[in-house]
Amino acid sequence: MRELPSPLTRLLRVHAIDYLFATAVTLVAFAIAFAVDRYFSAANLALILLTAVLAVAVRKRMAVAVYTAVLCFLGDNYFFTPPRHTLAIDSIDDVLAIGLFLIVALVCSRMATRLSSQVVSLRAAQLRARTLLQLGQQLAAAADAAAIREVATRALTRAVGATAALRPADPSPSDPRAADQDDAWIVPLLVGGHHHGSVAFASGVADELDAEQRELALAMTQDIALALERERLAQELEQSRVQGETERLRNALLSSVSHDLRSPLASMIGAADTLATYETQLPRDERQELLQAILHEGQRLDRYIQNLLDMTRLGHGTLKLHRDWVDATEVVVAATDRLRRFFPKLALTTSLPHDTVLLYVHPALIEQALFNVLENAAHFSPPGAAVQVVVSVAGEHLLIDVIDRGPGIPPEERARIFDLFHSVARGDRGSKGTGLGLSICRGMIGAHGGSVEALPGDGAGTTMRITLPLPPAPETNA
Amino acid sequence: MNPSAPRVLVIDDEMQIRRFLDIGLRAEGYQVLQAANAAEGLALAATQSPDLVILDLGLPDREGHEVLAELRQWSAVPVLMLSVRSAESEKVRALDNGANDYVTKPFGMQELMARLRALLRHHPVAGPAEMPPLYDDGRLRVDLVRREVSLDGREVALTRKEYAVLALLLRHAGRVVSQQQLLREVWGATHVQDTHYLRIVLGRLRQKLGDDPGAPHWLKTEPGVGYRFLEGQDR
């Protein structure tokens, strides 16, 4: 550890400088007074000396000012008050003059030092306010606890002019910094019983700071503790929000699974059981009907499970895009082909661009996203009504519009249909959709930088629009 | 049962799937051999010399790809793979490793039977399929010797690449040709990643042949895998 000067030595050194300054000013004043002695009266010379007292008083403390006043009083008496070069005074006038000089000098020095100390404390207050304001702004802008700690360390170090370090709430016992700073000035960061660690200032800082700076450092520490507390509360709030959301999703998922897995299974078990029990008694077309029911319900289950798998991939962020060049037409055709297999009676028309439009996407994901929209449209179409798919290019984007003649979607619902399990939330009425499809669609299209939106249909029904960005045309070698 | 009926070996660990395949295949007049795992399947393939193998990619004892590779060391028997969806890369890998076609689980019986027929029709016991040098279905006529293509009696002018793609698909008519194979054979091995070449050529071919991709007459896209030239029975 380096040797620090004792407080007394330092005090004496500081004071010696002050008194030297006062003495020097006094000497200069007397020099001037001697120089102009022959032109002015003794009363005016006293004014020059009074100026010197004021000059010291505004800069230095009261004691130094008094010292200057007494020095000037004695000098004035000795050098300029007749009889000169004695401390005796002849005339009663001069006694009054020199007496008044002493009183005025003392009063002036008191007033001047008070004024200057007010200025100094005003300046300090202003500096303190500015420092705190700056710190407050920086703390408010800090995004997380780590940023708050960084901002705080920097601001504190600048404010006290020495290293300040923020220690975590429970430093490990083996932390070397904790061990070799036993004499550091440590201020805890405490707010309402929550311990956010402490601030450790470098050794010896506490002694070097004056009361103002100490107070400023403490005020800053308090602000920092408040910022850390605010951050902790915000995190707690976010955590409980996420937990609530997870809870809601889990409940929705459970009800969806129990509904959407069970109802096709119930149909399949029922139909198969009926067949097994009454096979010989049933007419051929009824047997076929039951078999078709088993087939279709099985396919429905398969689609639902595919959706659940897709959802898990999207939800876990493990979805990797394997992009490839693909003809937009081929993706649309793959989706419509698949839809036709499941809804053979649906009137489905497609309008495709005449020229080859190349996309750079993960084809299977886009196909699945489009299939989900199509399946939705097919479910909500009244029997015999057409579902139209219109593919077009608009500037830098490919638009895929799926137009149905279903009941339409009320404006206030249009944004919410993409919410996970939205249709489940509406109860059994929404049994045709699982509330997964559109949400997955949005996830998959979104992963490609595109968007899905529900537009009001032309008259009745809904237009679902998938927008995908078109890549710059690749070089060709055909 | 007719002893000259084609023999199909089913290698799948799912008993229920083997069961309905057995019923369906026998109903179509095939003889059926069943194996529940890779070892059993390879043994049956070696001793019974089936005319066609249906191979599940997910087997308990060995990976389907390995089974395929081993089988291909000593047999050119047509192999149709069963795979789950969203595994396009798996299908492509298997096709490149010598599988002849695939169907995706869950699949319909009709689709499977159509694939089997195409495989058996075009597959003599060994060697590459010999195509007659002339294809003519009444509308589209392709002369593979003179490199002439005509549609409804009118000659169609194709670029070299367009013709090469059409001819390659035609030589494997009814079966899927992976996009990697098309790119490798038409553009060369350095271009197997340049799928946009293929998309553009296919787009132009369809335009020139007046083939609606939404209801293809000849050129069918197998999403994520490749293309297939449709024969009369598949349309």
- Express each pLDDT in A332-370 by its tens digit: 998 998 888 888 888 999 998 888 899 999 888 898 889
ipTM of the complex, rounded to two decimals: 0.70
Residue at B128 is within a domain: no
Predicted structure pTM score = 0.57
Q: Are B206 and B219 in contact (CB under 8 A)?
A: yes
Mean pLDDT computed over B199-212: 91
Run of H or E including A24: helix A7-35
Query: A160 versus A429: which is more confidently predicted?
Result: A160
- A8-55, pLDDT tens digit by residue? 676 677 778 888 888 999 899 889 888 888 888 877 888 888 888 888
Determine, yes or no, domain membership for B127.
no
Q: Which residues of A touch B202 (CB under 8 A)?
A: 327
Name residues whose C-beta falls within 8 Å of residue A261's C-beta, 6 or more positions apart in sequence: A301, A304
Mean pLDDT of A74-86: 83
Q: Tell me how far apart the alpha carbons of residues A343 and B58 are, in angstroms, rounded to a whole number.
A: 30
Helix axes A363-380, A437-447, angle to 10 degrees: 150
The model's confidence at residue A427, banded by pLDDT at 50, 70 and 90, is: very low
| Predicted pLDDT of residue B125 | 42
State residue A174's pLDDT score: 45
Q: State whether B170 and B227 are in the same domain.
A: yes
Residues B65 and B166 in one domain: no
Whether A4 shows a pLDDT value over 60: the answer reads no
Interface residue A313 vs chain B (CB under 8 A): no
Check residues A248 and B57 and name the one with the higher pLDDT: B57
User: Which CATH number, 3.30.450.40, 3.40.50.2300, 1.20.1070.10, 3.50.50.60, labels domain A142-172+180-238?
Assistant: 3.30.450.40
Statement to judge: residues B166 and B194 lie in one domain: yes
A176 — pLDDT class (breaks 50, 70, 90): very low
Q: Containing domain of residue B188, as a range?
A: 134-234
So what's the pLDDT on residue A70? Answer: 86
The answer to whether position B143 is within a domain reads yes
Res. A144 pLDDT band, cuts 50 70 90:
confident
Q: Is A331 on the interface with B (CB under 8 A)?
A: yes
Q: Is the pLDDT of residue A125 over 90?
A: no
Band the pLDDT of A75: cuts 50, 70, 90: confident
Instruction: Give residues with Cβ within 8 angstroms of B165, minimum separation 6.
Output: B182, B186, B198, B201, B202, B205
Count the domains in chain B.
2
User: What average pLDDT score do residues A224-232 get?
Assistant: 87
Question: Is B214–A329 a contact, with Cβ atoms under 8 angstroms apart?
Answer: yes
B180-204: average pLDDT: 90
Domain ranges for chain A, please list them.
7-122, 142-172+180-238, 240-312, 321-469
| Position A467 confidence tier, pLDDT thresholds 50, 70, 90 | very high
Quick one: pLDDT at residue A399? 95
Tell which of A321, A326, A391, A398 to mutate to test the B interface (max B CBs under 10 Å): A326
Q: Does any domain span residue B155?
A: yes
Q: In terms of domains, do B102 and B175 share one?
A: no
pLDDT at B99 over 70: yes
Q: Report which of residues A262 and A469 the model is more confident about.
A: A469
Residue range B106-133: mean pLDDT, rounded: 73
Q: Which band of pLDDT confidence, cut at 50, 70 and 90, is reported for residue A189?
A: confident
A153 touching chain B per CB within 8 A: no
- Single residue among B122, B153, B185 that ends a domain in this structure: B122
Mean pLDDT, rounded, for B78-90: 79
* Spatial separation of the C-alpha atoms in residues B65 and B58, rounded to whole Å: 9
- Both B74 and B178 in one domain: the answer is no
pLDDT at A431 over 80: no
pLDDT at A1: 41
Residue A191 near chain B (CB below 8 Å): no
Place A400 in a pLDDT band, splitting at 50, 70 and 90. very high
A240-312: same fold as A142-172+180-238?
A: no
**Strand partners for A456:** A462
Query: Which of B122, B151, B172 is the last residue in one of the domains?
Result: B122
Q: Determine the average pLDDT of the residues in B21-35.
A: 92
Q: Please check the confidence at residue A209 and state whether its pLDDT lies above 80.
A: no
Question: Predicted confidence band at B92 (pLDDT cuts at 50, 70, 90)?
Answer: confident
Residue of B nearest to A350 (CA): B214
Residues A201 and A203: their CA atoms lie apart, in Å, by: 6
Percent of chain A whose pLDDT exceeds 70 = 87
Output the pLDDT for position A170: 64
Measured between beta carbons, which residues in chain B are less than 8 angstroms from residue A324?
A: 195
Which residues of chain A are within 8 Å of residue B162 when distances are taken between CB atoms?
478
Question: Which CATH number is B104's domain given?
Answer: 3.40.50.2300
Look at A52-66, A170-184, A254-268 and tell me which has the smallest mean pLDDT: A170-184
Predicted local distance difference test score (pLDDT) of residue B43: 93
Query: Is the minimum CB–CB distance between A338 and chain B shorter than 8 Å?
Result: no
Mean per-residue pLDDT over chain A, rounded: 81
Whether residue B94 is found in the same domain as residue B138: no
Chain B residue with CA closest to A474: the answer is B196
Q: CB of A73 within 8 A of CB of A98?
A: yes
Same domain, B42 and B141: no
Residue A189 gets the label, from left (phi > 0), alpha (psi -120 to 50) or beta, of: beta
CATH number of the structural domain A321-469: 3.30.565.10
Percent of chain A with pLDDT over 90: 11
- In CATH terms, the fold of domain A240-312 is Helix Hairpins (1.10.287)
CATH code, domain with B147: 1.10.10.10
Q: Does the residue B209 lie in any domain?
A: yes
In this predicted structure, the answer to whether residue B8 has a pLDDT above a threshold of 90 is yes
Task: Answer yes or no: do B108 and B138 share one domain.
Answer: no
Residue A182 has pLDDT above 70, yes or no: no
Domain match, B154 and B54 both: no
